[in-house]
Amino acid sequence: MAGAVIFSGMSIAELPQELVESAVELWESVGLTRPWNDPRADVRRALGAPASTVLADVHSGCVVATVMVGHDGHRGWVYYLAVRPELQRLGRGREMMREAERWLRRAGVPKFNLMVRADNLPAKDFYLRIGYSPSDVVVLSRTLGP
């Protein structure tokens, strides 16, 4: 892959369009998707905007890890961090997050935020282990209709 970052058997670069379905299959296999949210539309928005992307680790034409990253100019956000179950706990998730951080630094973004569902304790523990800490904020949301 052109422009790929290599780390201990990883090749991280922007997700190629032809591998979107492979990324969505990964997300579905690790429980990241929700029925009310179209992951394909999320990928299209992320890859089609200058302030976001989807980074992927691809081996033999298969997506084995991803992270979607974007920013508003001040705060970066991450979504869809996923690693194939059989490759978890080998440092891939940590390196995907580090590459998302590098992507944000190159964009001049000073802060990185992420949201974890309250009942997703394994994800919360992972982020705490790699140096993230809870913020004293309440996230409010509203779904915008068509």
CATH code (residue 37): 3.40.630.30
Q: Are 114 and 101 in contact (CB under 8 A)?
A: no
Residue 94 in domain: yes
What value does the mean pLDDT take over residues 21-35? 95
59-92: per-residue pLDDT in tens?
Answer: 988 999 999 999 999 999 999 999 999 999 999 9
SS3 22: helix
Residue 16 in domain: yes
pTM score of the predicted model: 0.89
Residue type, 55: L
Domain count, the chain: 1
Checking if the pLDDT of 44 tops 80, the result is: yes
Torsion of CA 22, 87, 111, 114, to 10 degrees: 70
Residue 92 in domain: yes
